[in-house]
């Protein structure tokens, strides 16, 4: 939705795409009397604008994604951007400073900026900042976690097949004192036009607490690394992105962290797709968990809500079926040998139930150990507490069964 200037400037701003997809990325200015929109942030920032508000001085306060973190910037009518606040600045009375802001209220003259901030090892709290000094925490909603041992991430870059640097976050077991190689799970984010960030995430924390190394790679197609990186996977799901995943596995093995014989992969939505793709392409993973994945991109297109997103990547399956078939795990499912847990919301209209049913039937046909869990009343993201707990318990139990002696 476009927002008009509070100073009666004859312009409106909105966040949009440079072409017809895949998702809005840049901040645009549009003359109210007509004309061509102008991209304000492609050159000055080249990072996704996650939220913005007008300030009384006619400038815009924007929150932008930048790798695993996000930051506040002030953008003027000509697109000049100045940093306002890095949420990761050391904070008073707060052991783990926030790296990610989720929502904010703008600062007026003499009024501090208020935002909700969090980090992987620190669930969200409210903060105030004058934009110059360290943010001050003003809530204690999640103080329970002060008595819980949470894994703190190590952020690292690794080289992938084409020489690009890919960023990832590593969690190590919270109680580990051994130098032995660890069972390791690669967690793949949803999207694909999404990303992992330095925010509290329960799957990885539970796995780390259970003795696993956990790695979150922001493979090509992720947001937060510029527009060109975001669109590298167009028409190439399971191609360069999968090679980025395997390069992450190699990186962890070479560092002596991951046991090469005890690798696992998991994810939800596109992360589920990548888990399904992985088991049809390699036997290096000894266990996989796919949540709300996509096994057949052509039937996905015909049954999902909002197929225009998939169309941006592959066109129409009625006219260009080759790309859909080439990038569908079901095409290669006869190669699968990896024990696979499949999790699915019964009422999911984003990645419908049929996608998981197709995969389950195929894996059973070829004698692959598999389970299909269908959560009643649930859509694409689970919401009922008992289902959320069950999903976490099943995930850890599945990896314990297949990755631990």
Kindly report, residue by residue over 108-117, the tens digit of the pLDDT.
555 678 889 9
Facing residues of 14 across strands? 28
Distance of CA 289 to the CA centre of its chain: 16
Q: Would you call the peptide bond into 22 cis, given omega within 30 degrees of 0 as the criterion?
A: yes
pLDDT of residue 1: 56
Least Cα distance to 101 among 137, 77, 76, 65 occurs for: 65
pLDDT of residue 92: 46
- For 397, the enclosing helix (H) or strand (E) is helix 385-403
The DSSP output letter for 193 is S
pLDDT of residue 108: 58
The whole-model pTM stands at 0.93
Above 70 in pLDDT, residue 89? no
Average pLDDT of the segment spanning 188-192: 97
Kindly report, residue by residue over 318-376, the tens digit of the pLDDT.
999 999 999 999 999 999 999 999 999 999 999 999 999 999 999 999 999 999 999 99
pLDDT of residue 301: 97
Facing residues of 13 across strands? 3, 29
The DSSP output letter for 9 is -
Spell out the long-range contacts of 75-82 with Cβ–Cβ below 8 A and sequence spacing 24 or more.
75/27, 75/40, 75/41, 75/44, 75/45, 77/9, 77/11, 77/29, 77/40, 78/40, 79/38, 79/39, 79/40, 79/41, 79/43, 79/44, 80/44, 81/41, 81/44, 81/45
Share of the chain above pLDDT 70, in %: 92
**Which candidate in 99, 269, 327, 356 is catalytic?**
269
Distance of CA 346 to the CA centre of its chain: 23
Interatomic CA distance for residues 281 and 55, integer angstroms: 51
Distances (CA, A) of 36 to 4, 23, 29, 94: 16, 20, 9, 47
Torsion of CA 385, 277, 153, 41, to 10 degrees: -100
- Beta-strand relationship, 60-66 and 49-54: antiparallel
Above 90 in pLDDT, residue 384? yes
pLDDT of residue 300: 97
**Which candidate in 13, 25, 88, 380 is catalytic?**
380
Interatomic CA distance for residues 196 and 171, integer angstroms: 13
Non-local CB neighbours of 335 within 8 Å, separated by 6+ positions:
280, 281
- What would the 3-class secondary structure string for 15-61 be? EECCCCCCCCCEEEEEECCCCCCEECCCCCCCCCEEEEEECCCCCEE
- Residue 105, token pair as written in the block: 């209220």
Spell out the long-range contacts of 122-127 with Cβ–Cβ below 8 A and sequence spacing 24 or more.
122/94, 122/95, 122/96, 122/97, 122/98, 122/150, 122/200, 123/200, 124/98, 124/200, 125/94, 125/98, 127/87, 127/91, 127/98
Interatomic CA distance for residues 391 and 372, integer angstroms: 12
Interatomic CA distance for residues 216 and 81, integer angstroms: 30
pLDDT: is 320 or 5 the higher one?
320
Q: Could you give the 3-state DSSP secondary structure of residue 1?
A: coil
Q: Would you call the peptide bond into 55 cis, given omega within 30 degrees of 0 as the criterion?
A: no
Rg (CA), the chain: 22
Least Cα distance to 69 among 155, 141, 159 occurs for: 155
How many C-beta atoms lie closer than 10 Å to residue 33's C-beta? 7
Above 70 in pLDDT, residue 401? yes
Is residue 269 annotated as part of the catalytic site, yes or no?
yes
Non-local CB neighbours of 187 within 8 Å, separated by 6+ positions:
196, 201, 203, 204, 214, 215, 216, 266, 267, 271
Interatomic CA distance for residues 182 and 173, integer angstroms: 9
Per-residue pLDDT band for 215 (boundaries 50, 70, 90) equals very high
Spell out the long-range contacts of 125-128 with Cβ–Cβ below 8 A and sequence spacing 24 or more.
125/94, 125/98, 127/87, 127/91, 127/98
Share of the chain above pLDDT 90, in %: 73
Above 90 in pLDDT, residue 67? yes
Q: Could you give the 3-state DSSP secondary structure of residue 132?
A: coil
Minimum mean pLDDT range among 89-93, 247-251, 388-392: 89-93
Minimum mean pLDDT range among 76-90, 207-221, 332-346: 76-90
């Amino acid at each position: 939705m476009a927002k008009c200037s509070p100073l009666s400037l004859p312009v409106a701003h909105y966040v949009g795409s440079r072409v017809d997809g895949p998702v809005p990325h840049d901040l645009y200015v549009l003359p109210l009397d007509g004309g061509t929109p102008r991209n304000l942030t492609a050159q000055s920032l080249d990072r996704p604008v996650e939220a913005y508000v007008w300030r009384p001085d006619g400038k815009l306060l924007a929150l932008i994604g930048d790798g695993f973190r996000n930051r506040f910037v002030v953008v003027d009518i000509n697109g000049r951007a100045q940093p306002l606040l890095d949420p990761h600045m050391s904070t008073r009375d707060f052991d783990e400073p926030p790296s990610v802001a989720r929502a904010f209220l703008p600062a007026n003259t003499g009024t501090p900026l208020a935002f909700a901030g969090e980090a992987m090892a620190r669930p969200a709290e409210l903060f105030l900042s004058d934009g110059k000094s360290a943010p001050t925490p003003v809530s204690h909603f999640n103080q329970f976690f002060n008595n819980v041992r949470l894994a703190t991430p190590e952020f690292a870059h690794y080289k992938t097949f084409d020489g690009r640097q890919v960023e990832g976050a590593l969690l190590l077991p919270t109680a580990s004192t051994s130098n032995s190689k660890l069972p390791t799970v690669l967690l793949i984010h949803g999207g694909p036009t999404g990303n992992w960030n330095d925010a509290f995430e329960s799957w990885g924390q539970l796995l780390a607490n259970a003795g696993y190394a956990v790695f979150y790679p922001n493979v090509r197609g992720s947001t937060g690394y510029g527009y060109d990186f975001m669109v590298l996977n167009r028409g190439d799901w399971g191609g360069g992105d999968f090679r980025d995943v395997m390069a992450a596995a190699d990186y962890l093995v070479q560092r002596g962290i991951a046991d090469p014989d005890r690798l696992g992969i998991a994810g939800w939505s596109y992360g589920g797709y990548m888990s399904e793709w992985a088991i049809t392409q390699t036997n290096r993973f000894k266990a996989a968990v796919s949540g709300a994945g996509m096994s057949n991109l052509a039937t996905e297109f015909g049954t999902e809500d909002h197929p225009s997103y998939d169309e941006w990547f592959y066109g129409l399956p009625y006219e260009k079926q080759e790309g859909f078939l080439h990038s569908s795990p079901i095409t290669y499912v006869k190669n699968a040998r990896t024990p696979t847990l499949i999790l699915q919301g019964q009422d999911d209209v984003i990645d419908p139930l049929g996608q998981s049913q197709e995969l389950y039937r195929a894996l059973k046909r070829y004698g692959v150990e598999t389970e299909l869990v269908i959560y009643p009343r649930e859509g694409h993201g689970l919401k009922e507490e008992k289902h959320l707990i069950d999903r976490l318990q099943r995930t850890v139990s599945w990896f314990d069964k297949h990755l631990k002696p």
